[in-house]
Amino acid sequence: MEKRKTRKLYARMSHRCHSREGGNPVLHCWIPGQARNDKTSGFTLVEIILVVLILSIAALVAIPMFVSAADVQVRSAANRIAADLDYARGLAITRQKNYTVVFVPDNASTSTVNESSYDIREAGGTASNIIKNPLDNRNFTVSLAADNRVSSVNILSVNFDAVASNAITFDYLGTPYPGNVASPTVRLNSQGVVTLKSRVGAFTVSVKVEPLTGSVTIE
């Protein structure tokens, strides 16, 4: 009896699935016990709008994060340059000998030097007089572009009393002098400034050297 009712119900549903309503085939009909065979596919307009909305929100979140990461690199580069300026000054005082930090800003590249780089050398010396870095015993030359931690940073400008060499020298007292001179006589007259800028934004940071004292600050 129960089996007979089930067969009748199955036959009735099967008939409906193959019948026509208003001259059109009935779609999306599923009979119990049969696998679904829905040939219709695709995305609805609502689904497409939702995907576009999600991608737009993700982009709005990702872009500020990327710019923020670049800004962090600028600050990291500023901290490094400030530390190296302090190192050169301390070295001059400790060894009672003049040392120079020579900068190469981004707009001063040639075929023999790297943009946005600097080195520490004996005052008045050339590239052959660059001192050794105590950490790895290599030449104390820093290229921002070659370091992934600060590769998004440019040395935008360098100004030590507008001296063309973009260098600053510290004497045995730690007093700063503009230029790369073995025996400097004219002290730094105004605040020396090294300006750093992000390659992907407008964010800038300045590393400043005070005249007379040679103290280094970041702004």
pLDDT tens per residue, range 57-107: 766 655 555 557 778 899 999 999 999 999 999 999 999 999 999 999 987
Q: Which residue has the tokens 């709005």?
A: 60
Full set of structural domains in the chain with CATH = 66-218 (3.55.40.10)
The one-letter code for the residue type at 136 is D
Q: What are the backbone angles phi and psi of residue 146, rounded to the nearest 5°? A: -85, -5
The answer to pTM > 0.75 is no
What is the tens place of the pLDDT at every residue in 157-194? 999 999 988 999 999 999 999 999 999 999 999 999 99
The answer to whether the CB of 116 falls within 8 A of the CB of 154 is yes
Distance from C-alpha of 73 to C-alpha of 192, rounded to nearest angstrom: 22
Closest CA to 168 of 121, 219, 112: 121
